[in-house]
Structure 1
Amino acid sequence: MRIWSWIWRGLLATLILLLLVPVVIPPFFDRIYYRGPVSGHFDGQRFFNPDGEQGTGGARKRTPLGMAWRMMTIKDQEPWPAHVATQPGYPASAGVTCPLKPARALENWARCVAKADPKRMFVTWIGHSTVLVQAGGINILTDPIYAERAGPWGLLGPKRVRDPGIAFDDLPKIDLVLVSHNHWDHMDLPTLKRLWARDRPLIVTSLGNDTILKSVGVQAVARDWGGRVQVRPGITVTIERVHHWGSRWIRDRNRALWSGFAVTLPGGNLFFAGDTGPGDGSWPVEDAKDGPYRLALIPIGAFQPREMMSGNHIGPVEAVDAFQKLGAANALAVHWGTFKLSSEGLYDPPKLLHATLAARGIARGRFRAIEVGQNWEVAPLR
């Protein structure tokens, strides 16, 4: 037992030294991703939340080293399994006359469905915040991550416990990619490089993130909150304000902007919240102006302990608040059950989501927490 104690101490000391490196060598780990005029959320050097800085580290202010130590010493409410079986999925086919075949036939199937009725919307949860949305004749992918670990070099960071709901090679041709911010579990550069090489999709993100993507040969269009990008006639992406922060190397904190997105689509618009804390509760009210939303993709996980996570992530209760303030007809729960980022149990987020919906008299079918690989045909707005 004694030798294991020394091994543990050695590993802990090594990790602390690694975490100290960005502090003692700041020029190497800092980056300038964006230069532009001062605004209500950019001070000329770094971005910030206009409703308060509680979104950059939790309700209690901590140093990066302090946050890392707190995360290492959190007692889990319920241990996660090492792996959860995933049933690989394909876009929904209920009521569709187009033939559905696995793997390479998915692209032709999607085109067939879009041609039959562009107002139909099919959504498949691939895992974490990665969702395939097929509507308006295009295939949309949000914050795509196929990495085994959500961290640097594919070696550090939490390990995936669920395989992707659709294998990368089985994805249909992707037309539009939405990248919300530069955290490792949302901006997975190897996945984005593969998508760019294969499909050359339009990648839309917020200010500064395009610089990171360009460094690995991936082209993206970046806009400030409120900016718009036309995908094709009748389909436009608007960059929306949410409450979060950004960093890849600690010292580059908030050098790039974070955002959500509204996408105009036939049959009702799509909202993707990216990653967000509650802030003062004003962001979903503000973002509601770009509805009406047929579907909102809203995070519900990585919310415990609240004294650390409240400024970074919304939990299920705040997710329902956002759902109601957005005025969305339907919502899909994301950002849970794929990478262990906090102390709650694997299924705690959907359990609390269902309890909150029941308490507020909202039908569970309107705000769904489906399994990875499952899909859903979302009815158009009336």
Structure 2
Amino acid sequence: MKLTRRRVLGVLAGSAAAIGVPPVWLSRMKTYSGPISDHFDGLHFIDPDGSPPKSLGEVLRWQFGRRAQRAVWPEWAASPFSDRPPPRVEGSRVRFSFVGHASWLIQTAGVNILVDPVWSERASPFSFAGPKRHNDPGIAFDALPKIDVVLVSHGHYDHLDVTTLSKLAAKFAPRVITPLGNDVTMREADAAIKAEAYDWRDRVELVSGLVVTLVPTRHWSARSLFDRNKALWASFVLETPAGKLYLVCDSGYGDGKHFRRVAEAHGPLRLAILPIGAYEPRWFMQDQHMNPVDAVMALADCGAEQALAHHHGTFQLTDEAIDAPALALAEALDAAKVPREKFAVLKPGQVFEI
């Protein structure tokens, strides 16, 4: 394979979305500075129950040695759905609209919340290379209701999209709740982004009766070769009038400890949003991304009444086929004797309500 400059940039951009490895010249950025804790050593964040990110050598081994194993996605896989959300959802109802990949609109208690919003064409530091959308966002940007709050889980490009955050800031000026250090990235890109940074286990009141808590998750964060784990990553527990929602934007499974701890500290959970995609090859991805079998075990561990699947079908970050996560989830649920309707797979633009 001829390694042209464009080919190398494309590979690094693809790695950036999945594991945070863009070129060296994008790494000259400010990073978090704060007090040492049990998960921050003064320079890097650490998950005592997690695994370190893969080395650059392992990244290159995966990227340049995988072509025969990588499934070919269709150029375009349009969803038959497109949502036009109401201005507000009041009371104890919760309305979930799947935007695509890990992006959601959650409406409840009169508040509109976006999770990891990505409306850009690519999940990449480049406009010309890196993972490209295979379907439109399930809600057109101009069809969004007024956004009050944005939750951003970590700094990888398929979750923290500064272009989308800037557009949201200009149109709605929402609060942006994010783990420590990601606020630095946002403000460096656009000072108008109203970023608020919090640590694991911090509890943040959004309005009366609506509270979000940042909880540890088995992942990591980076936007360059030289800022690995210099910003924190997290999942969210959202307390609503309908019960507690567990929003897992990106996570490996490990031994399930992270999920069981959330159940112990925050249960009972009404619903969990769990990732099921971007998991092949397992030798590379298992520490940071769950496969569908892992996701079914995570559902059992956290004890949620209902689950929604995400992190699949929009950006090809890894090697599995576009429909593999949904098919494998059905098999995993059947094997675990869990009703398939308990763990729903939506397409962009579909809506689920409790």
TM-score (norm 2): 0.91
User: Structure 1 segments of 4 or more deviating over 6 A?
Assistant: 16-19, 25-28
**Contiguous gaps of at least 5 residues in structure 2:** 14-19
Is 1:73 aligned to residue 68 of structure 2?
Answer: no
Task: Specify whether residues 18 and 358 from structure 1 end up closer, same or farther in structure 2 by C-alpha distance, changes over 3 A only.
Answer: closer
Residue 51 of structure 2: which of 46, 53, 68 is its match? Answer: 53
Structure 1: which amino acid aligns with 2:211?
T
Deviations 1:208-234 (A, max 9, x none): 011111111212111110011110111
Count residues with an aligned counterpart: 343
Equivalences for 1:102-251 in 2 at 5 Å?
A: 102=84, 106=85, 109-111=86-88, 113-114=89-90, 118-215=91-188, 216-217=190-191, 218-251=193-226
CA shift digits 1:147-185 (9 cap, x unpaired):
111101323311110111110110111112110000000
State the distance in 2 between where 1:69 and 1:274 align: 26
Letter in 2 for 1:126: V
Amino acid in structure 2 at the alignment position of 1:80: W
Superposed, 1:74-93 pairs within 5 Å as: 74=66, 75-76=68-69, 78-90=71-83
For 1:318, the equivalent position in structure 2 comes to 294
The secondary structure found in structure 2 opposite 1:153 is coil
Name the SS of the counterpart of 2:147 in structure 1.
coil
Match of 2:40 among 24, 39, 42: 42
Gaps of 5+ in 1: 58-62, 91-101
Separation (CA, whole Å) in 1 of partners of 2:35 and 2:196? 18
CA distance in 2, matches of 1:205, 1:369: 26
Q: 2:16: which partner in 1? A: none
> Take 2:93 and 2:152, find their aligned partners in 1: how far apart are those partners?
24
1:274-323 CA distance string (max 9 Å, x none): 21111332111111222322221110000011000011101111111111
Match of 2:56 in 1: 64
Give, as a single letter, the amino acid of the residue that structure 1 aligns with 2:56: P
Amino acid at match of 2:220: W
Kept in 2: contact 1:31–1:255 (CA 8 A): no
Structure 1 residue 337: Cα displacement: 0.6
1:292 matches 2:292: no
Deviation at 1:66, TM superposition (A): 3.8
Give the AA of the match of 1:190: T
Paired residue for 1:261? 236
Q: Distance in 2 between matches of 1:84 and 1:13?
A: 24
CA 1:328/1:18 → structure 2, altered by over 3 Å: closer, same or farther?
closer
Partner of 2:325: 349
Q: 10, 15, 20: which is aligned to 2:4?
A: 10
- Measure the CA separation in 2 of the matches of 1:119 and 1:17: 45
Compute the displacement of 1:72 (Å): 3.4
Residues 208 and 349 from structure 1, CA distance in 2 versus in 1: closer, same or farther, beyond 3 angstroms? same
Looking at structure 2, the residues matched to 18 and 301 of structure 1 have their Cα atoms a distance apart, in angstroms, of 20
Contact 2:24-2:225 at 8 Å conserved across structures: no
CA displacement at 1:141 relative to structure 2: 0.9
User: Are the structure 2 counterparts of residues 125 and 52 from structure 1 closer, same or farther at C-alpha, using a change threshold of 3 Å?
Assistant: closer
Distance in 2, Cα, partners of 1:320 & 1:30? 40
Shift of 1:248: 0.6
Higher helix fraction (1 or 2): 1
Q: 1:161 to 1:72 in 2, by over 3 A?
A: farther
TM-score for both structures, normalised by structure 1: 0.84
| Structure 2 residue 336 is matched with structure 1 residue 360 | yes
Paired amino acid for 1:342: T
* Distance in structure 2 (CA, Å) of the matches to 1:132 and 1:18: 30
Name the CA shift for 1:29/1:121 in 2 (closer, same or farther; >3 Å). Answer: same
